[in-house]
Structure 1
């Protein structure tokens, strides 16, 4: 009979976020690739679809990033959205309310991804810590005098 034995001892550490420059490098490469694919398959001039895809990218990258990486991630996604997803390609413009909304959506997506990752890691750590406590011991309250 084969018995599986864990080689780990003690509690598993909470995963550390990826360094901010690496997140920004991944953002630049991924955003460029996604906008290029969208422009090739669907064509430029569909900023709402590009915003949706880049918001998903920002949220996914936020899952492994520090909170400090969120503004840079949003800004890089916005640069590729503004520069290449809307005509004329290669020209950055600022259209007041529209670009403010886009930046807000991208920042919210990055922050949401990071927040969800932190909550998931905290919940997993809590469950690992409380798994060693028996339910009977956890239900008993210390009695006063």
Structure 2
């Protein structure tokens, strides 16, 4: 027996998050392009500007991600920041107070981006469902 259902008349669901590997790929490409552009324009200037820009990238990319992708997003941004924006370039190092703070900042940006997007989608869905 065939059952006919309307295809566009019902409430639209909250959009699902993107797959975590694609979020991480976009994060890596965007962060690497941003740090490369800053290095060409700034000639290894202050890494604080790189950190702020990478935090914005992490927050923007995380708007379409699951919350479980936030640690990986922050780690990828930190690796690119530490490897290509902080001298000496190409060498990963760990300076406990500085790098822990940078990693926490990037993680907070990813979590805030994800939470803000999920709340905005849930609020929009609630408005569509209520009369």
Deviations 1:24-68 (A, max 9, x none): 011111111000000001121421000000000000011000001
Aligned length: 125
Number of the residue aligned with 2:50: 50
Number of the residue aligned with 1:95: 95
Greater helix percent: which structure?
2
TM-score of the aligned structures, taking structure 1 as reference length: 0.84
List alignment gaps of at least 5 residues for structure 1.
1-6, 133-145
List alignment gaps of at least 5 residues for structure 2.
1-6
Number of the residue aligned with 1:29: 29
- Matched residue of 1:87: which SS? coil
CA distance in 2, matches of 1:70, 1:35: 20
Contact 1:45 1:87 survives alignment (8 Å): no
CA distance in 2, matches of 1:45, 1:68: 33
CA distance in 2, matches of 1:121, 1:113: 12
- The structure with the larger Rg is 1
- Matched residue of 2:121: which SS? helix
CA distance in 2, matches of 1:80, 1:44: 14
- Matched residue of 2:64: which SS? coil
Contact 1:24 1:73 survives alignment (8 Å): yes
- Structure with the bigger RCO (C-alpha within 8 Å, sep 6+) is 2
RMSD after superposition: 1.0
TM-score of the aligned structures, taking structure 2 as reference length: 0.93
Which aligned segments of 4 or more residues in structure 1 are displaced greater than 4 angstroms?
Answer: none
